[in-house]
């Protein structure tokens, strides 16, 4: 199960699950007299541009360092083979909660470096610094650096759903199901999902909605009676209805089980065959090649149980870390510091450096006050890249 923390009263923060395309790196280049900093990343929907920009900024500030970027779709397989030969990256961008469990394995075998000095120096917000993700072992030491926080609600086509559009945007589950019945008459499904693993944040947010912080906490801590509560049963009923034949896009399951079939389910939303799907903001870049220029993504918080009821959006962190056997630890730590210390000037959304914690927390507070309005503003900012 993915390690999860909560931020404030409204968000379940989980290690994210990414899916995306691959790219081959330029590696083993001749760096001359320069120190080499090897940065290895999963090749996913976030793309490579932000890391290229970050590497350029680091090399400009440190002209005696050669940052060698590598992006691999099957990153765990590549790194396991190299690790077996005694070869290690200096920095790894690969999240908790992936099917391979690579990061968890490295942590559980104590192959991840203590970066408490970096976390302390950058002044990370305590909500992050003291979380069970950063302090994985619960020993007061930091091992993972959260670089980006991603909202993960229901993504949809704002040209099809919204004020003045063909379909009204639902605010309650009752309105959500009614929309599904309406769209079905037009041959459009209410819901799809990319592939297995995309319900984690939906589940967390829904548990918070149906049973409050107590139910969410009990489920995450494996309380034996948690799933026997009314809130848990209501959660199961809603999820069951979401994936029932009445509302689920008919090709969802077959696509989800095909190689790279998740993109076909995501394309179904773009093509107007399904209205909503759970996802993260990486879908914008991931599907850019097949998305029409006049298409605009929207982000819907979970509908409320009743009119004017509370609504929630799950939010995920993505982590970077340093292998314990990295050869260039000093530059690796400096690289992490640079990605965070530019936080007062830029964010991930500007594609200049990586997402920073202060802006994230401010945005979460805004979402609590007007969640749909600020979710929409987030998507508008993202689409301006």
Whole-angstrom Cα Rg for the chain: 21
131 vs 233 pLDDT, higher one: 233
Check if the beta carbon of residue 220 is closer than 8 Å to that of residue 214: no
62, burial (CB in 10 Å: exposed 0-12, middle 13-18, buried 19+): middle
* Choice between 19 and 238, residue whose per-residue pLDDT is larger: 238
Determine if the pTM surpasses 0.75. no
Q: 281-307 burial string, b = 16+ CB within 10 Å, else e?
A: bbbbbbbeeebeeebbbbbbbbbbbee
Q: Quick one: pLDDT band at residue 380, thresholds 50, 70, 90?
A: very low
pLDDT confidence band for 45 (50 / 70 / 90)? low
Q: Which pLDDT score is estimated for 378?
A: 45
Q: What is the mean pLDDT of residues 34-52?
A: 85
pLDDT at 341: 61
Q: How confident is the model at residue 31 (pLDDT cuts 50, 70, 90)?
A: low
Res 321: pLDDT: 95
* Residue 299 φ/ψ, nearest 5 degrees: -125, 115
Region 178-197: mean pLDDT is: 95
**How high is the pLDDT of residue 116?**
94
The two three-digit tokens of residue 78, written as one number: 């590549």
In this predicted structure, what is the pLDDT of residue 22? 33
pLDDT of residue 48: 78
Which of 179, 197, 227 lies closest to 19 in space, CA to CA? 197
Closest to 89 in 3D by CA, of 357, 273, 327: 327
pLDDT digits (tens, 9 = 90+) for 280-331: 877 887 888 899 988 888 888 889 999 988 888 777 778 899 999 999 999 9
Tokens of 187: 């041959």
Report how far residue 17's alpha carbon sits from residue 196's, in angstroms, rounded to the nearest whole number. Answer: 10
Average confidence score pLDDT of the chain: 79
What pLDDT was estimated at residue 70? 95
Structure tokens at 77: 């397989």
* Range of weakest confidence among 10-14, 180-184, 191-195: 10-14
Q: Mean pLDDT across the stretch 116-134?
A: 83
> What is residue 280's DSSP assignment?
-
């Amino acid at each position: 199960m993915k390690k999860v923390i909560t931020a404030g009263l409204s968000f379940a923060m989980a290690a994210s699950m990414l899916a995306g395309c691959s790219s081959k790196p330029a590696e083993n280049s001749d760096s001359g007299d320069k120190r080499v900093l090897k940065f290895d990343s999963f090749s996913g929907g976030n793309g490579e541009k932000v890391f290229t920009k970050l590497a350029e900024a680091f090399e400009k500030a440190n002209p005696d360092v050669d940052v060698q970027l590598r992006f691999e779709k099957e990153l765990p397989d590549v790194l396991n083979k190299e690790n077996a030969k005694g070869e290690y990256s200096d920095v790894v961008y690969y999240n908790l909660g992936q099917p391979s469990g690579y990061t968890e394995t490295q942590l559980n075998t104590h192959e991840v470096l203590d970066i408490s000095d970096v976390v302390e120096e950058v002044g990370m917000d305590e909500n992050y610094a003291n979380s069970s993700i950063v302090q994985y072992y619960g020993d007061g030491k930091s091992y993972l650096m959260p670089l980006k926080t991603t909202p993960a609600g229901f993504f949809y086509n704002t040209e099809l759903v919204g004020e003045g559009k063909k379909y009204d945007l639902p605010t309650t589950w009752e309105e959500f199901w009614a929309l599904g019945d309406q769209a079905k008459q037009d041959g459009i499904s209410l819901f799809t999902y990319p592939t297995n693993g995309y319900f984690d944040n939906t589940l967390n947010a829904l548990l918070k909605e149906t049973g409050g912080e107590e139910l969410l906490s009990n489920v995450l801590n494996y309380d034996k009676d948690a799933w026997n509560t009314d809130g848990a049963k209501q959660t199961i009923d809603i999820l069951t209805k979401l994936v029932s034949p009445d509302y689920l896009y008919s090709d969802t399951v077959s696509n989800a089980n095909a190689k790279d079939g998740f993109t076909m389910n995501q394309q179904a939303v773009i093509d107007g065959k399904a209205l909503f799907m759970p996802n993260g903001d990486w879908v914008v870049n991931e599907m850019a090649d097949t998305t029409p220029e006049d298409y605009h993504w929207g982000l819907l918080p979970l509908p409320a149980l009743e009119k004017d009821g509370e609504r929630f959006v799950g939010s995920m962190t993505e982590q970077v870390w340093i292998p314990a056997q990295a050869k260039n630890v000093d530059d690796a730590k400096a690289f992490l510091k640079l990605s965070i210390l530019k936080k007062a000037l830029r964010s991930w959304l500007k594609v200049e450096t990586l997402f920073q914690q202060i802006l994230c927390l401010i945005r979460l507070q805004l979402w609590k006050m007007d969640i749909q309005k600020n979710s929409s503003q987030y998507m508008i900012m993202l689409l301006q890249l």
